[in-house]
Amino acid sequence: MKKIFALAAFAVVLAVSCQKNDTPATDQKPAGIPMKLIADFDATKITYAPDGNVLKASWEATETISVITLDEQEQLVCIDNFTSTGAVGREKAEFTGTFNGGDSPAGVIVIYPALSDNGAGQYATAPYIDRYGNEHSFIYDAEVGSEYIQDNAQDLKQAADNDASHLKNYCILSGVANIADIKTNTLNVTLSHEMIVLKVTATFPDALKGKTLQKMIIASFDSSDNIKGWSRRGSWEYINIPSIHLNGPGSIWSNTWDLYADFVIPDSGIATLYFVNIKLQDMEAGDKLKFTATVNDVECTPVFKTFNADKTFDKGSIYRISVTIPD
């Protein structure tokens, strides 16, 4: 099963795979309720961004989604997976499945892509291969009885110039279902992106054309050149509503944001990279970003960009920045 995300200002299509999962079992599961789930997308995430670039979403022919029930302590009660089939490209999908959270749960959230049981009572999204060749899941260690969920936001690699396919590992959508709808046997949910994309267009000098770009690091500093945490690292998160990505007890803010690469800088000297994260701190006027590229195992001279005004970074949006790497 796949999900298509289009980056609005240019033609990039991302195929996001997920697994078919059986409905997870718990030791004391309430009687199941046959249920429909109607899912569509947050229109503001589709139509608005400061620079006109947004993440668009549409459903593929067959999809699976996870419905997560929470108790009054905001702990995970059960995970039920629902399936939808229909026309490719639809923005609204009807899912069907069996809801095992009872007729009056404290809360219900919905996450795409679906989570599956690893056999030890821990649920995770389908794995991806990181830059080391190891398997990781973006969301993992979701367990019945826990109020936390883990995410992993590191070690992605862009394999080609202007290639956004690695973003599929971060294409997480979440939403809150109206629990009053349970009595009608139909849940309704509006899904929103849980990721932010920074599109960096880097112009390299003639001497570096045809050489291999291996990495770019973005470091963040305040107006006094002190280190300033900007990007989120993977950690434990509270799973409570309205968002799975509220700051958890192990939240880490880093002043470096890495993207590994493995492609030849084009003859034009212009390379396009896609950084992705789940949350970025607001930046103030005077704060700085430092861009450092590594080409053929040699670090290039850093480039600094200064914020001329305060900046807020919204989920579901793409932000663009251009840098020129000096000779």
Nearest to 151 by CA among 139, 164, 168: 139
Are the beta carbons of 57 and 43 closer than 8 angstroms?
Answer: no
pLDDT for the residue numbered 39: 85
- Asked if pLDDT for residue 205 goes beyond 90, the answer is yes
pLDDT for the residue numbered 12: 32
- The pLDDT tens digits of the residues spanning 5-19 come to 444 333 233 333 333
Are the beta carbons of 234 and 154 closer than 8 angstroms?
Answer: yes
**Interval 167-184 mean pLDDT:** 84
- Asked if pLDDT for residue 247 goes beyond 60, the answer is no
Residue extents of the structural domains in the chain: 3-22+33-194, 197-324
Q: Is 207 helix (H, G, I), strand (E, B) or coil?
A: helix
Are the beta carbons of 81 and 37 closer than 8 angstroms?
Answer: no
CATH class (in words) of the domain with range 197-324: mainly beta
- Least confident range from 35-39, 127-131, 220-224: namely 127-131
**Interval 275-302 mean pLDDT:** 92
pTM of the prediction?
0.79
Which residue(s) pair with 322 in the sheet?
Answer: 201
**Interval 185-203 mean pLDDT:** 89
- The pLDDT tens digits of the residues spanning 73-118 come to 888 889 999 999 999 888 888 999 999 998 888 888 898 889 888 7
How far apart CA 250 and CA 238 sit, in angstroms, is: 10
